[in-house]
Amino acid sequence: QNQNGNFVESSSFGECWAIIYFYPKDDTPGCTQESCEFRDNLSTLAAHNVKVFGVSKDSVASHQKFAEKFNFNFDILSDETGALCE
């Protein structure tokens, strides 16, 4: 699920490339910097048909706060079980 509680499936990506980056925890210095770099460069990536997805084991609620605080313009996916992270 993304930060809005919607399920995201790779079949919905269409004919694009995807950057899926994994990080340990929302709103920590390194993770925030990395996520903001993707946010700030998303228009350039989108022009090359690239979508960005962040993934961590944090909850949907945590992701929602993190995404709102930093105005992220891409999906952050919740993997509370750790299955995707593994």
**Nearest to residue 85, comparing CAs of 51, 54, 55?**
55
Verify whether residue 31 is a known catalytic residue: yes
Instruction: Write the CA distances from 25 to 16, 34, 44, 45, integer angstroms.
Output: 27, 12, 26, 24
Q: Which residues are catalytic?
A: 31
